[in-house]
């Protein structure tokens, strides 16, 4: 019929327009640690009004591109009133998914890959006023809630790394323990039987896999490099070399009073010696005592299925990619080439 062909044409046109605006759908902030922002969708707001409010709140780059995305995905009629915890580090796709099919009596909580417990707690505080309880349970007594198959060391107390980064929906009066239980259940669901079997074949416990995956999560900028970065760390462990991973130093340094950031950037040569902590993998051999952040599934998969390479070193090129090598001499040349020191 004419109506359906016109509809098909309109859909094709929307998709075409969307492709031309792909840059406008990227996260507003390139900083994965951009803090959560509380966002309300009011009853009766149109998709266009919501898109404009998101742009004003600094959560999307371009309201018209976001409106097009909603229409293309068929979500423009599925936005309901609700309370959302969103981050400028989320892509337009992630925000659209969070907004879709919300119920007015829910709070939508989004936690991101690479966040540490304290960053999760900030989002939980904004959404539910339960930040301190969340941190008390997750950091001090939560480890006993982990299933036995995780293989946690007996002295570990924290759930760092095991509160799976995802989009969650809770009643507004949800308690910290409810939120933690849901995040833990999500982790147990994501780390499949096959994953456990693969970890065993590699001679690693799931706890060790998540610990290494958390470092990969913070090191990788480009998704396709995750299996390469994982391979470097696994190769170094096999050879008895120290991991020398910058994110473990950042984790040990903790909150930076001057910037309010949890991950110090840039990291200076003096920081490596200053961060006296079992987590500092420049000063200590092997894996750190536990994860340093919540890794996503892609980083867990990278550790379980690393690239088949003999690389032992990598250095950031400055464009999000790294230069990898198996030779120390080549690595020194790469450091001079890309970092000029």
Q: Summarize pLDDT for 34-78 with one digit per residue, the tens.
A: 888 999 999 889 999 999 999 999 999 999 999 999 988 888 888
The confidence score (pLDDT) of residue 238 equals 97
- In the chain, what are the domain boundaries? 2-190, 200-339
Q: Please, which residues bridge with residue 128 across strands?
A: none
| CATH fold for the domain made of 2-190 | Dna Ligase; domain 1 (3.30.1490)
Question: Which segment, 7-11, 39-43, 80-84, 232-236, is predicted with the most confidence on average?
Answer: 232-236
Of the ranges 60-74, 98-112, 300-314, which is most confident?
A: 300-314
Indicate if the pLDDT at residue 101 is higher than 90.
no
pTM of this prediction?
A: 0.90
CA-wise closest residue to 144 among 157, 161, 160 = 157
Mean pLDDT of 89-114: 90
**CA count, 13 A, side-chain hemisphere, 61:** 18
Give the pLDDT of residue 30. 87
Pairing of the two strands 313-316 and 167-170: unpaired
DSSP, collapsed to helix, strand or coil, labels residue 131 as: helix
pLDDT, residue 6, reads 61
Closest-CA residue to 91 (of 113, 76, 124): 113
Cα radius of gyration (the chain): 22
Per-residue pLDDT, 290: 98
pLDDT per residue over 172-190, tens digit each? 999 999 999 999 999 999 9
DSSP-derived secondary structure letter, 34: P
Mean pLDDT of 107-132: 96
* Residue 326 pLDDT class (50, 70, 90 cuts): very high
């Amino acid at each position: 019929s004419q109506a359906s062909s016109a509809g098909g044409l309109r859909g094709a046109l929307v998709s075409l327009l969307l492709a031309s605006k792909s840059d406008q759908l990227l996260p507003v902030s390139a900083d994965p640690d951009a803090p959560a922002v509380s966002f309300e969708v009011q009853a009766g707001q149109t998709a266009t009004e919501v898109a404009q409010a998101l742009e004003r709140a600094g959560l999307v780059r371009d309201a018209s591109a976001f409106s097009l995305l909603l229409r293309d995905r068929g979500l423009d009629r599925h936005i309901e009133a609700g309370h959302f915890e969103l981050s400028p580090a989320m892509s337009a796709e992630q925000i659209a998914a969070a907004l879709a099919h919300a119920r007015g009596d829910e709070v939508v909580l989004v936690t991101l890959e690479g966040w540490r417990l304290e960053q999760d707690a900030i989002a939980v505080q904004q959404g539910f006023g339960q930040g301190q309880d969340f941190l008390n349970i997750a950091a001090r007594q939560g480890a006993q809630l982990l299933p036995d198959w995780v293989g946690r060391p007996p002295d570990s107390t924290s759930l760092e790394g095991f509160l799976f980064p995802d989009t969650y929906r809770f009643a507004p009066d949800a308690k910290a323990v409810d939120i933690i239980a849901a995040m833990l259940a999500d982790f147990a669901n994501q780390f499949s039987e096959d994953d456990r079997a693969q970890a065993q074949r590699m001679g690693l416990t799931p706890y060790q896999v998540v610990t290494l995956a958390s470092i990969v999560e913070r090191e990788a900028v480009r998704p396709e490099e995750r299996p390469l970065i994982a391979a470097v760390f696994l190769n170094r462990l096999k050879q008895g070399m120290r991991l020398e991973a910058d994110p473990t130093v950042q984790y040990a340094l903790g909150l930076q009073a001057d910037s309010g950031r949890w991950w110090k950037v840039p990291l200076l040569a003096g920081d490596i010696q200053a961060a006296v902590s079992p987590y500092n993998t420049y000063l200590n051999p092997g894996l750190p005592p536990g994860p340093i952040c919540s890794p996503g599934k892609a980083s867990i998969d990278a550790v379980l299925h690393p690239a088949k390479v003999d690389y032992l070193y990598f250095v950031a090129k400055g464009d999000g990619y790294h230069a990898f090598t198996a030779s120390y001499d080549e690595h020194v040349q790469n450091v001079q080439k890309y970092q000029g020191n």
